[in-house]
Structure 1
Amino acid sequence: MIGIATEIALLLMLAAFIAGFVDSIAGGGGLITVPALLLAGVPPVETLGTNKFQGSFGAGTAALTYARAGHVRLRDQLGMAAVSAVAAACGALVAHLMPAGVLRIIMPVVLIGVAAFFAFRRGLSDQDRVQRMRPAVFTFTLVPAIAAYDGFFGPGTGSFFMMGFVLLAGYGVLKATAHTKLLNFASNIGSLAVFIPSGAVWWGLGLAMALAQTAGALVGARLAMRIGARLIRPLLVVTSSAMALRLIWQAVMG
């Protein structure tokens, strides 16, 4: 692997396993793998490309695991996934148009809001609730907005999809988690369509981390299906809060 010692690669694989576990339940896996890659000396652009590559395996594994258990019908969600992929690719292409400094100020506030919603909103369970937005409107408004954000920035994408499914589509927490994973996978693929041609993926390291990410996602998804909202809600609160604190730290430290 390019410029990566064996022991560092093993540590990155451990980080990928933990990220896959967390991401399959509550999102936020990039909070673990992106800093780990940067600390290992991977350049920023290659960090983003390699992270998207290995993260795709985790999101795809989680999506298949939930689908096999009957919590989501992937075929019915393909249109929504296609919108997510295209929007993420567009987001990656126009990333330079949005000042990163603005996002670093706004996103911690939004993520703290997500954490507060799942922490204090009563009645959140695995049972479906009132639908506030029709599927077609949801597909062509919220999905592309979040996926485009994932293409040019990224932290909290899974949490935002989760909140949208719960608050607007009326899904129960477990069902929302299951549907989020395919959209996450699609947005990763869309972003990769931009990163790969630019040579921003370290393939050897990415494949090693992908194996670990897949294993973590498999364990996490199975655990989430066994415990449901009692596990997903607190983990969402923790990951959203952690992402917000990290973004605040980055903004303060420059």
Structure 2
Amino acid sequence: MFELSLDLVLMLVAAAFAAGFVDSIAGGGGLITVPALLLAGLPPAQALATNKVQGVFGAATAALSYARRGLVDLRQQKTEAVVAFVAGLCGALMVSWIPTKALSYGLPVVLIGIAVFFALKPGLDDTDRVRRISPAVFTATFVPAIAFYDGLLGPGTGAFFMLGFVMLAGYGILKATAHTKLLNFASNLGGLVAFAVVAKPLWLLGGAMAIAQIAGALLGARLAMRIGARVIKPLLVITSTALALRLIWQLL
């Protein structure tokens, strides 16, 4: 039986604050909270479910923060959010049917590729570029693919959404970050609905961590809006690389 001591709760709350800060800027907050929950003694499925509880609050806070500054119109993302929710729900329900282990082998390569892209590609800043596909095609193809992956596996979802908004939608770095958050929230929420049925998340612990996530997300979003690509790009490179190295370590 998992028991919550005060020092464990404080450790997990601190991890959630750091995750909210990082996730609101570049994604990858699960890189901090999931290992912390596993280290605290939660079974893997319950750790993932509890992580979804607190993660939805951080993503929602970041989305609202960017929206208040006029960087994203959340009402215009309603369709994308519904698609992301349904795809995230389906992905989580398919966990036991799809060989996620096989997907894990290629994931570090993809994440390192994303890190290299954002680190070395010239001209990536907060300036918008030419859109390569229409909003309808983006919503019908890219959004459900990444959201399904979020429900199924999860690591690097924020980086994948960022890459899509930059490369396909033609957004600048800060605008892409802002548009990522509602979709991250929706796919997280879909995954949480599925996990709540089968994995029994620790709701009180997730709630305590959610408060810290909100505080971290507010601080991170404020910093990102003040500095823009100069802080988002390096942090995205660092989190993608760190996540890839962690996955490689797990596989070995």
The correspondence of residues 62-81 of structure 1 with structure 2, limited to 5 A, is 62-81=62-81
Name the structure 1 match of 2:24. Answer: 24
Amino acid at match of 1:127: T
Compute the displacement of 1:197 (Å). 2.2
Aligned to 2:50: 50
Aligned pairs (5 A) from 1:168-179: 168-179=168-179
Instruction: Quote the Cα distance in structure 1 between the aligned partners of 2:36 and 2:124.
Output: 33
Count residues in correspondence: 252
Q: Residues 2 and 42 of structure 2 are in contact (CA less than 8 Å); yes or no, is this contact kept in structure 1?
A: no
CA-CA distance at 1:4 after TM superposition:
1.4
Aligned residue runs from structure 1 range 128-207, under 5 A:
128-207=128-207
* Equivalence for 2:120: 120
C-alpha distance after superposition, 1:176-221 (max 9, x if no partner): 0000000000001111111112352101100110000000000000
The answer on whether the counterparts of 1:13 and 1:208 sit within 8 Å (CA) in structure 2 is yes
Report what 1:237 is aligned to.
237
Structure 2 runs not aligned, ≥5 long: none
Name the aligned partner's letter for residue 186 of structure 1. Answer: A
Question: Is the CA contact (8 Å cut-off) linking 2:12 and 2:37 kept in structure 1?
Answer: yes
Could you list the structure 1 runs, at least 4 aligned residues long, displaced by more than 6 angstroms after superposition: none
Distance in 2 between the 1:181 and 1:213 partners?
Answer: 14
In 2, Cα distance between equivalents of 1:199 and 1:43: 9
Map of 1:215 onto structure 2: 215
What stretches of structure 1 of length at least 5 have no aligned partner?
A: none
Secondary structure, counterpart of 2:130 in structure 1: coil
Amino acid at match of 1:246: R
- For residues 149 and 24 of structure 1, what CA distance do their matches in structure 2 show? 19
Identity across aligned pairs (percent)?
65
Q: 2:100·2:152 contact (CA, 8 Å) conserved in 1?
A: no
Partner of 1:11: 11
Match of residue 250 from structure 2 = 250
Residue of structure 2 equivalent to 1:225: 225
TM-score normalised by the chain length of structure 2: 0.98
For the 8 Å contact 2:37–2:47, the answer to whether it is kept is yes
TM-score w.r.t. the length of structure 1 is 0.98
**Alpha-carbon distance between aligned partners in 2 of 1:248 and 1:43, rounded to the nearest angstrom:** 21
Match of 2:110 in 1: 110
Amino acid at match of 1:149: Y
Cα distance in 2, alignment partners of residues 37 and 153 from structure 1: 16
Letter in 1 for 2:179: H
Task: Give the match's secondary structure for 1:196.
Answer: helix
How far is the alpha carbon of 1:44 from its aligned partner? 1.0
C-alpha contact (below 8 Å) 1:89/1:194 kept by paired residues: yes
Compute the RMSD of aligned alpha carbons.
1.0
Residue 35 of structure 1 aligns with which residue? 35
Matching residue's letter, 1:226: R
- Does the 8 A contact of 2:105 with 2:251 survive in 1? yes
- The one-letter code matched in structure 1 to 2:213 is Q
Deviation at 1:104, TM superposition (A): 1.6
Structure 1 distance, partners of 2:98, 2:246, is: 20
For residue 113 of structure 1, what is the amino acid of its counterpart? G
Q: Contact 1:2 / 1:202 at 8 angstroms: preserved in 2?
A: no
Q: CA deviation at 1:100?
A: 2.4
